[in-house]
Amino acid sequence: MAMQRKTNVRLPPEVNRILYVRNLPYKITAEEMYDIFGKYGAIRQIRVGNTPETRGTAFVVYEDIFDAKNACDHLSGFNVCNRYLVVLYYQSNKAFKKVDTDKKA
């Protein structure tokens, strides 16, 4: 991992430290999320959705962008309680557009 950081690796622009996770089991806890995502690096914060609109989703914030990329690469499609995780890089502009379209409907 240290080798990647020393060389000037160019990451795609959408890569960032915040991952948006969908298709989680509704009963998953933050501790279980730390067990799954903590294997890929130091985590700053995990926010698991707990309202009817956000159940089954979470945000995972890593300390390091390379750890976030590694987790995204390895955990997208990972099976948790017979559900396959969808792990994406958080993009604020897309999240707000979805909220705006929901309000208009």
Superfamily of domain 18-90: RRM (RNA recognition motif) domain (3.30.70.330)
For residue 70, which amino acid is it? N
Q: Is the pLDDT of residue 20 over 70?
A: yes
Report the run of H or E that residue 30 belongs to, with start and end. Answer: helix 30-37
Assign 1 a pLDDT band (cuts: 50, 70, 90): very low
Q: What is the pLDDT of residue 81?
A: 94
Task: Tell me the pairing of strands 18-22 and 86-89.
Answer: antiparallel
Q: Is 90 exceeded by the pLDDT of residue 2? A: no
Question: Residue 87 — φ and ψ, nearest 5°?
Answer: -115, 120
pTM confidence score: 0.78
In the chain, % of residues over pLDDT 90: 70
Residue 5 φ/ψ region, left for φ over 0, alpha for ψ in the -120 to 50 degree band, beta for the rest: alpha
pLDDT at position 10, please? 77
pLDDT tens sequence across 42-64: 999 999 999 999 999 999 999 99
Hey, where are the domains in the chain? 18-90
